[in-house]
Structure 1
Amino acid sequence: MPGIASEPLKFAYWVPNVSGGLVTSDIEQRTDWGYEYNRELAVLAENSGFEYALSQVRYTASYGAAYQHESTGFSLALLLATQRLKVIAAVHPGLWHPGVLAKFIASADVISGGRAAVNVVSGWFKDEFTNLGEPWLEHDERYRRSEEFIRVVKELWTSDHAEFAGDFYRIHDFDIKPKPAGRPHPEIFQGGNSTAARKLAGRVSDWYFSNGKDFDGFSEQVAEVRGYAAENDHAVRFGLNGFVIARETESEAKAVLREIVEKANTEAVEGFRNAVKQAGSSTSDKKGMWADSEFKDLVQYNDGFRTGLIGTPEQIADRAIEYKKRGANLLLLGFLHYLEDVEYFGKHVLPVIREKEADLERV
């Protein structure tokens, strides 16, 4: 299987910088949104085989998330608390000017020795824009703005005389220093499920994040985005969201999943579903985010249960390897009890994945 095992599968975790954990459920969650907890978690994660962490972006209380730390400042704090971990800050075009964001990330990158990255979020939560007095653009216009945003930050990071003339941003002879550390620019991640999102990844993003998907759903996304990337002579890598419930037996893991769903905060899940419904239905081909998500999928608000990383370490490793065969370069993971579950993953799941990767090399 040439090429499949050429590079180890990478792992990232969702930073719980937002209260309520990674599931919208009243099940006990020994996960805390505060900095002290997250600092301990970041150190544990990088010592457990995680290469990346993604800080969530949420600006106002909503849908079970009463409290939230701002993503870029929190990401810098985690970078300062770690030595190897790369931290991805989620950011919104329309709420950030790309020049200001480029300056902040360049400084964070230099301070951390080249470990800063960004996840450009085109936006699904209308109230965060309109309640701040900012315009809410139609779906494809948000992605057009995101593409200009990405092109501007790249230009600012790589040019001493940055120039850009677009419909949303105009930059003239602008120079930011210091530049990012040791490479042309920090990695740029981007998600979305719509055709507009897939085309965006195929033109300008370094990484394309997929919401939770089964095998066929993920393969379909990879094939389409790779096609767009080939048309643009562009290289893109793929990350996949998943929620991990690893236990000694499959029955134990599935019992935890049942309890999460049975104790779902119905009001919060329904509120979230109503808010994101337009994200899937406002596109002409109905391929937007959460377009086909059911109630149980939205209890983990990025469809993480769909990826099926639930069971014994061996079962989870088998699924991870299958996703790697289908194009995944990175798995972005959420957990119920972060400290305990991340440690368990590093000790019991990741070694099995590495063994199976070694087997791939011998095929």
Structure 2
Amino acid sequence: MSAQLRFGVWALVYGNWASFHHPEDPVDASWERNKRQILEAEQLGYDTTLIAQHVVNPFGEEHDQLDAWTAAAGLAALTERIEIIAAIKPYLYHPVVLAKQALQIEEISGGRFGINLVNAWFKPELERAGIGFAEHDARYAYGTEWLTVVRGLLSGERTTFHGEHFHVDDYLLKPASRTRERPAVYLGGESDPARALAAEQADTWFINGQPQQDVHALIKDVAGRPRTGDPLRYALSAFVIARETEAEAREVLAYQWELAEKGQATWDGLVAKADPKAVMFQTFAKHPHIGTNGGTAAGLVGSYDQVAQRILEFHELGISTLMLQFQPFESEQRRFAHEVIPRFRALSP
């Protein structure tokens, strides 16, 4: 168990993270809302935020979508303490260009930046742009080469790489990080190629929300794979519904399911456009949930004390970062900071 659990929030890049029909949570993916959300999260004591990357909104192209990388640069300049993590799909950026952008945001933030490599699952985003959508394992082969180049450049190394997809000769980027070796590298995905890549090259592996026994099995598998350097850390996504009593929380959960039924056609349309080999969606089918990336399947639904206890149990399994979703987001972000985090700290000082 790591010394201290870090709490993070997902930036509102889609406009919200559950129902588009919630009367108290407008679908608003604007820069202004995201800026207010993350500045308040920092003030409330959250340690990190994740900015998911899509060019178009997968819930419908008629909806706004915040750009991850320009938003990350803006947030890096406006904040003082919170870590900024920007997701990246390797096919969208050449590794040399991306590494340069990442190092610039590292400079802007004063050493608080991280990249989260994800293997794209939303096919129209790449297909309609003419980029093409390669087969699942081929995307990971591409991503492995991509990350190899990026890691070297992020570390300030003079980089030469010749592979199937990239040919880089004697490339050096300056300035490199002035505060540490390089920006942090996160990786999402639960397929076997994703697990192997996480063990080989990531600093932290993101796990989708799911029951504790499943999280334990995933950590055990990846921890047993070959690795050099510091031990791999583990992060978990979760959607939180916490109230004074378990009955109140269950009532809110029931209401969220009612709202989810109104949006079922939208969700079905999203799944139809996703890569069927994406393990994430196979996991979702086993564990119905509210929110994205596993959401309430992590079990953080209950009284303040129950949720704090379950978080402690995840921490004891090896989770070092929780990346959280709520609805309505801003008010529940405050509730969690005021009611659950202090209870967790009391359990795990």
Q: Report the TM-score, using the length of structure 2 for normalisation.
A: 0.94
Report the CA distance between 1:181 and its aligned residue: 2.9
* Aligned counterpart in structure 1 of residue 21 of structure 2, from 13, 26, 33: 26
Contact 1:254 1:311 in 2 (8 A): yes
Runs (5+) with no aligned partner, structure 1: 281-287, 359-363
In the alignment, the residues of structure 2 paired with residue 146 and residue 277 of structure 1 have an alpha-carbon distance, to the nearest angstrom, of 16
The answer as to 2:311 corresponding to 1:317 is no
Deviates more, 1:343-352 or 1:42-51: 42-51
C-alpha distance 295-238 of structure 1, shift in aligned 2 (>3 A)? closer
* Aligned counterpart in structure 1 of residue 149 of structure 2, from 128, 147, 152: 152
Moved over 6 A (4+): none
In the alignment, the residues of structure 1 paired with residue 82 and residue 220 of structure 2 have an alpha-carbon distance, to the nearest angstrom, of 30
Contact 2:115 2:185 in 1 (8 A): yes
In the alignment, the residues of structure 2 paired with residue 137 and residue 271 of structure 1 have an alpha-carbon distance, to the nearest angstrom, of 21
In the alignment, the residues of structure 2 paired with residue 14 and residue 40 of structure 1 have an alpha-carbon distance, to the nearest angstrom, of 13
* CA shift digits 1:80-115 (9 cap, x unpaired): 221101110011101111111110111111111111
Pairs within 5 Å for 1:316-335: 316-335=307-326
* CA shift digits 1:174-194 (9 cap, x unpaired): 111111231111001111111
Matched with 2:164 is 167
In the alignment, the residues of structure 2 paired with residue 28 and residue 295 of structure 1 have an alpha-carbon distance, to the nearest angstrom, of 29
Pairs within 5 Å for 1:1-363: 4=1, 6-19=2-15, 21-30=16-25, 32-64=28-60, 66-230=63-227, 232=228, 235-264=231-260, 265-276=263-274, 278-280=276-278, 288-294=279-285, 297=288, 299-358=290-349
Identity of aligned residues (%): 30
Contact 1:24 1:269 in 2 (8 A): no
Contact 1:90 1:119 in 2 (8 A): yes
Contact 2:189 2:280 in 1 (8 A): yes
In the alignment, the residues of structure 1 paired with residue 98 and residue 272 of structure 2 have an alpha-carbon distance, to the nearest angstrom, of 30
Q: Report the TM-score, using the length of structure 1 for normalisation.
A: 0.90
Contact 2:89 2:117 in 1 (8 A): yes
* CA shift digits 1:302-332 (9 cap, x unpaired): 1111001111211110000000111101111
Contact 2:84 2:113 in 1 (8 A): yes
In the alignment, the residues of structure 2 paired with residue 295 and residue 35 of structure 1 have an alpha-carbon distance, to the nearest angstrom, of 35
Task: Report the secondary structure of 2:176's partner residue.
Answer: coil
Task: Report the secondary structure of 2:4's partner residue.
Answer: coil
Runs (5+) with no aligned partner, structure 2: none
Matched with 1:285 is none
Contact 2:287 2:297 in 1 (8 A): no
In the alignment, the residues of structure 1 paired with residue 218 and residue 296 of structure 2 have an alpha-carbon distance, to the nearest angstrom, of 18
Task: Report the secondary structure of 1:316's partner residue.
Answer: helix
Contact 1:51 1:86 in 2 (8 A): yes
In the alignment, the residues of structure 2 paired with residue 145 and residue 219 of structure 1 have an alpha-carbon distance, to the nearest angstrom, of 29
Query: What is the number of residues matched between the two proteins?
Result: 345
Contact 1:25 1:260 in 2 (8 A): no
Report the CA distance between 1:25 and its aligned residue: 4.4
